[in-house]
Structure 1
């Protein structure tokens, strides 16, 4: 674990995409998993530019260290803590999250972003690959949520962000079957946690990104794909609003998602 920078500064859900109607405090201290590349690294850069203090975790520590150095050089007034963490190891997550919170002086927002794709069509001899997608995305995110919510319960406040996917809206074919199923499980997980925490100081946001150019979508450029910068800008803006659910980018994925829910399966199959 590496710490550099200066000391940290002191620091009614609604449905759909609308911003919450009540003021909420700035989430100064943010922990992001899967932060070594893609959406995780992009969010780290945006939040750093807004003056936030960060705890960044991933398996590829050399990329984390490079990102930490980049952020501190560009924004010397912030703190950045980095640590290796494999979300497939629930004990490591349970121990690592409170340790990072202690290093950073607390965590106000936890972004459960770590996950994998690269599934295969079911029944084609790649069961182990699909099982890995399901295990990391479901059980790994569950481990993150357990640690984050325990922390938020103890301190009486916080913001849990669960990164799902538009692929969770309906069953997806081919290489996205296991991935979409794993993300659908996260929608239910986040909603259950939200129900538990209604009326407390902790908010829960589920984010459903559409097609964004990241490693996880390599070779699967779908309709309405946006570049990484555009996707990250929309993602961070949505997280800052702290809605119950956000589609990213909002246009066209909110109406597209509504359409996907009602299309007959033969039509859906041709479109996806």
Structure 2
């Protein structure tokens, strides 16, 4: 398998995106990093270039809910990295949410707009480039929450992540007979700025450990992967098959 030399990561200023940038930089990949917080992106760029002086790191500001800007930035990154993008990781996301019917439609709508609507724009922009190249690897970051409908603050979040997983699978179905590959990641509890769980919560792993599992799955170009595999593969099976009342009780 040919290494994907140039990699674009959205939501790269913190959490999983920031750590993925570190891990891929350590593999010698050239990076295109975008997020709203450009000050953090610039600091990350300096860090990565100091540690790995042979790579290229391009950074640009991007609010993924500005759909026209998504297309502009992806095309600009392609030009920054020699006219080609080998892999795009749709990572930017939002964990905000409130129980349905409690007067916080605004929070739930924002979650869906960032996690699903904006992900659609990113996928469209990435696959447009991949179709032109007749090559590429689209990676979509979903969540273990996508396995079932979930209660409380997770309802809109789980729905948005289920939607983006279905979106990725549909794109995979469309491109099965092409050189373009699609991977859907389903992270379990990984400590990050977006997560409300502490690193000491049951089953939660550190950002570094969780992202290592994500990067391994991405590099293998698996169609889908629960990460880390243990314990999330069996938990995923249980979530899909247990009665909803049990799933709702433990999540």
Same fold by TM-score greater than 0.5: yes
Instruction: Give the alignment partner of residue 173 of structure 2, picking from 186, 195, 198.
Output: 195
> Is this contact kept in 1: 2:188–2:228, CA < 8 A?
yes
Q: Which residue of 1 aligns with 2:85?
A: 107
Return 5+ residue gaps in structure 1 as ranges.
1-23
Q: 1:72-128: CA deviations, max 9, x gaps?
A: 000000000000011101100011101111111111000000010121111111100
Please give the per-residue CA displacement for 1:1-55, whole angstroms capped at 9, x wherever unaligned: xxxxxxxxxxxxxxxxxxxxxxx21000000000000000000000001100000
SS in 2 for 1:82: strand
Partner of 1:226, secondary structure, is coil
Shift of 1:220: 6.5
Determine the C-alpha separation between the residues in 2 that align with 1:234 and 1:40: 13
- Is the Cα contact below 8 Å between 2:198 and 2:204 reproduced in 1? no
Taking the aligned partners of 1:119 and 1:216, their CA distance within structure 2 comes to 12
Determine the structure 2 residue equivalent to 1:170. Answer: 148
Counterpart check, 1:140 vs 2:118: yes
* Counterpart position of 2:55: 78
Q: In structure 2, how many angstroms separate the alpha carbons of the residues matched to 1:179 and 1:220? A: 19
Length, aligned pairs only: 249
- Alpha-carbon distance, 1:269 to partner: 1.7
1:264 to 230, 243, 251: 243
Match of 2:226 among 243, 247, 255: 247
Contact 2:88 2:126 in 1 (8 A): yes
Q: SS of 2:34's equivalent?
A: strand
Please state if 1:66 is matched with 2:49.
no
Distance in 1 between the 2:240 and 2:120 partners? 25
Query: Structure 1 length normalisation: TM-score?
Result: 0.90
Aligned equivalent of 2:27, options 39, 44, 50: 50
Which residue matches 2:208? 229
Q: Which runs of 5+ in 2 are unaligned?
A: none
**Other-structure match for 1:217:** 195
1:26 counterpart = 2:8:
no
In 1: Cα distance, 2:31 partner to 2:248 partner: 41
TM-score after normalising by structure 2 = 0.97
Higher relative contact order (CA 8 A, sep 6+): 1
The reply to whether residue 238 of structure 1 matches residue 208 of structure 2 is: no
